């Protein structure tokens, strides 16, 4: 029999007590000659994309047993960003990524499991599981719960979670009635799945296809469908085929697939589909765990060579993940990307056993109104950009695909120390057309936890200011955010960044074409402000957030935790 990683806990007379414990869980004599597969599940009842994953795990475990392997299910935590949004619960969202990564690493390595199938779906859970799996580096397939179907108003208009958040601003401005608000509330999220647009969850689920660590359809096949169940079974069978073969078990170790080529492919597909700005944060962290030297500045180089060919909610409110699936899926997007002919995608091994180019060779666009042809792009450059300047010496991120007004904007700063103050100020009418809203002390350290800013950006959009107001923050944005919203400003205010030195009325200049974010101040004035600056440090009751604040790096490096003190 081949030597498996799990032999360390199940073979030999000295493992008698270990086998005794395994027998207590139901294992029999013949099970000790089979591969042990970890089934990392993120089932949790409070998240729409996760409340049904207990049933998904049963399907996957059933298929693993049918293919002569032994499954061991374990769980991670999960936080619903939508429910945590707009209050201090959001402080825990990004930090949960680190807990999830460490949980996966801990269970897999403590029990010496041979391979893993991971079942994530939403928000921080996807990158957390990827980061943990990279630390373990055994064959791993990711198969997410799948996207939610789009909702419809009683009048038949397609809606989603972004609609619900923006509806609050519209209601505040008197643009919609109580009845219309209730209609949106009751129908925006019609059932299980990750929220139906190209928000953070579906961005990451899509990028896993580009990285080659998930099978085709992972990012687009609707949740709770027969087609999705077939994908679960296909993934379970595939991981068993790999782990039972000595050569394949070595060949398909995760780091052999998720390498530098995979990271670059992920960013390229992100650009082509206008993904969430959070993907930048997460992919930088994933690159670090994969031992890939990829820097924030490298993103603009990729963006310049990628055409933006798929626009999805929130950038285009009428298109959702199910539409992308019907139009050919992520494979069709990638196949079309290669037609630009500049090496924007790199051939690479995928978990299916095919290379990326082999996987997409027969893909085709079935609806070019949904996925545009390369000669008819939404933009000749990608849907994300990294801005630099005296306001962001280490970089800042903007989702260019979501800009509703001009890509060049100059306006007066209206400064808020934290998201709660910004929400209150916007509702009180402190923000006018032509302003640049500044929300600071919401970075990884300053928050701590780097809150998402969907509530203020949705209020701005809902109140009709989306094309005439810009927003910058050292925090981050939900994938549902649209408008001229610049996040991840680094250095952040809590570490003495220029965003902390701004005053109301300062003139801020944004030029997406030239990748510029700057404040128009004389150098002597900046020096005076720096000399007098004392950053705000929030009082914390949470021990976990205190630990996180002490260890976290800023957004330009992916907000990862320091491991070498």
Give domain 34-151+188-360's CATH superfamily. Answer: Response regulator (3.40.50.2300)
Chain-centroid distance of CA 383 in Å reads 15
Question: Any binding-site annotation on 179?
Answer: no
Report the alpha-carbon distance of residue 98 to residue 103 in Å, rounded.
9
Chain-centroid distance of CA 430 in Å reads 32
| Annotation says 102 is catalytic | no
Structural contact between residues 277 and 477, judged by C-beta atoms closer than 8 angstroms: yes
Token duo for residue 416: 């808020």
Question: Any binding-site annotation on 289?
Answer: no
The C-alpha angle with vertex 118 and arms to 116 and 119, in degrees rounded to 5, equals 150
Question: Any binding-site annotation on 511?
Answer: no
Pairing mode of beta strands 36-41, 70-75: parallel
Report the alpha-carbon distance of residue 487 to residue 170 in Å, rounded.
24
Token duo for residue 309: 């060919």
Structural contact between residues 243 and 114, judged by C-beta atoms closer than 8 angstroms: yes
Question: Any binding-site annotation on 527?
Answer: no
Token duo for residue 63: 């298929």
HEC string of 457-502 equals: HHHHHHCCCCCCCEEEECCECCCCCCCEEEEEEECCHHHCCHHHHC
Structural contact between residues 80 and 96, judged by C-beta atoms closer than 8 angstroms: no
User: Tokens 């998904």 map to which residue?
Assistant: 56
CB atoms within 10 A of CB 508: 25
Report the alpha-carbon distance of residue 114 to residue 243 in Å, rounded.
7
Give start and end residues of each alpha helix (H) in 362-436: 419-427
List per-residue pLDDT tens for the chain, 565 residues long: 458 999 999 999 999 999 999 999 999 999 999 999 999 999 999 999 999 999 999 999 999 999 999 999 999 999 999 899 878 899 999 999 999 999 999 999 999 999 999 999 998 999 999 999 999 999 999 999 999 999 999 999 999 998 998 898 889 889 999 999 999 999 999 999 999 999 999 999 999 999 999 999 999 999 999 999 999 999 999 999 999 999 999 999 999 999 999 999 999 999 999 888 899 999 999 999 999 999 999 999 999 999 999 999 988 989 999 999 999 999 999 999 999 987 899 999 999 999 999 999 999 999 999 999 999 999 999 888 999 999 999 999 998 877 877 889 999 999 999 999 999 999 999 999 999 999 999 999 999 999 888 888 888 888 888 889 999 999 998 766 677 889 999 999 999 999 999 999 999 999 999 999 999 999 999 999 999 999 988 999 999 999 999 999 999 999 999 988 7
Structural contact between residues 202 and 219, judged by C-beta atoms closer than 8 angstroms: yes
**Which backbone phi and psi does 435 adopt, to 5 degrees?**
-85, 160
Q: Is the pTM of this model over 0.85?
A: yes
Q: Is the peptide bond before 386 cis (omega within 30 degrees of 0)?
A: no
Would you call 355 exposed, middle or buried from its count of C-beta atoms within 10 A (0-12, 13-18, 19+)?
middle
**Domain residue limits, the chain:** 34-151+188-360, 386-557
Q: Which of 255, 163, 215 is nearest to 480 (CA)?
A: 163
Give domain 386-557's CATH superfamily. Answer: IlvD/EDD C-terminal domain-like (3.50.30.80)
Active-site residue identified among 478, 485, 490, 556: 478
In sequence order, the 6+-apart residues with CB closer than 8 A to the CB of 87 are none
User: Tokens 């990012």 map to which residue?
Assistant: 219
């Amino acid at each position: 029999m081949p030597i498996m990683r799990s032999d360390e806990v199940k073979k030999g007379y000295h493992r008698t007590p270990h086998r005794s414990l395994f027998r207590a869980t139901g294992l029999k004599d013949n099970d000790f000659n089979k591969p042990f597969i970890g089934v990392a599940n993120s089932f949790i009842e409070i998240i729409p994309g996760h409340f049904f994953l207990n049933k998904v795990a049963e399907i996957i475990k059933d298929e693993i047993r049918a293919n002569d392997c032994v499954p061991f299910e374990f769980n991670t935590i999960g936080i619903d960003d939508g429910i945590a949004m707009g209050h201090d619960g959001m402080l825990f969202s990004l930090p949960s990524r680190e807990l999830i990564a460490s949980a996966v690493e801990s269970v897999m390595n403590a029990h010496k499991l041979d391979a893993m199938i991971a079942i994530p779906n939403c928000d921080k859970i996807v990158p957390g599981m990827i980061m943990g799996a990279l630390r373990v580096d055994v064959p791993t397939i990711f198969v997410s719960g799948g996207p939610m179907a789009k909702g419809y108003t009683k009048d038949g208009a397609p809606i989603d979670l972004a609609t619900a958040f923006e509806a609050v601003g519209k209601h505040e401005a008197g643009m919609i009635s109580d009845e219309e608000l209730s209609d949106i509330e009751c129908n925006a999220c019609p059932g299980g799945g990750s929220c139906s647009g190209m928000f953070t969850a579906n961005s990451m689920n899509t990028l896993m296809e580009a990285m080659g660590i998930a099978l085709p359809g992972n990012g687009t096949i609707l949740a709770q469908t027969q087609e999705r169940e077939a994908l679960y079974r296909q993934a379970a069978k595939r991981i068993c085929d790999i782990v039972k073969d000595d050569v394949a078990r070595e060949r398909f170790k995760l780091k052999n697939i998720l390498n530098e080529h995979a990271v670059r492919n992920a960013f390229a597909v992100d650009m082509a589909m206008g993904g969430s700005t959070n993907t930048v944060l997460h992919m930088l962290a994933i690159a670090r765990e994969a031992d890939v030297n990829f820097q924030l500045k490298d993103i603009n180089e990729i963006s310049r060579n990628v055409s933006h060919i798929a626009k999805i909610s929130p950038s285009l409110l009428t298109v959702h993940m199910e539409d992308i699936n019907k139009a050919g899926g992520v494979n069709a997007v990638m196949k079309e990307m290669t037609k630009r002919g500049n090496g924007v995608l790199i051939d690479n091994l995928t978990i299916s056993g095919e290379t990326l180019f082999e996987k997409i060779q027969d893909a085709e666009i079935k609806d070019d109104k949904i996925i545009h042809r390369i000669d008819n792009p939404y933009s000749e450059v990608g849907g994300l950009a990294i801005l630099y300047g005296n306001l962001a010496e280490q970089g800042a991120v903007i989702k260019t695909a979501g800009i509703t007004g001009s890509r060049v904007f100059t306006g007066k700063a209206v400064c808020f120390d934290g998201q709660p103050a910004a929400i209150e100020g916007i509702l009180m009418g402190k923000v006018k057309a032509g302003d640049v809203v500044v929300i600071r002390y919401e970075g990884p350290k300053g928050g701590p936890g780097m809150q998402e800013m969907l509530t203020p950006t949705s209020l701005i959009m809902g109140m009709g200011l989306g094309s005439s107001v810009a927003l910058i923050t050292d925090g981050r944005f939900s994938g549902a955010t649209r408008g001229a919203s610049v996040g991840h400003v680094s250095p952040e205010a809590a570490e003495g960044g220029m965003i902390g030195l701004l005053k109301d009325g300062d003139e801020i200049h944004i030029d997406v074409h030239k990748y510029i974010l700057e404040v128009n101040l004389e150098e002597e004035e900046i020096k005076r402000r720096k000399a007098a600056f004392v950053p705000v440090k929030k009082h914390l009751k949470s021990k976990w957030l205190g630990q996180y604040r002490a260890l976290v790096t800023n957004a330009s490096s992916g907000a990862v935790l320091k491991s070498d003190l």
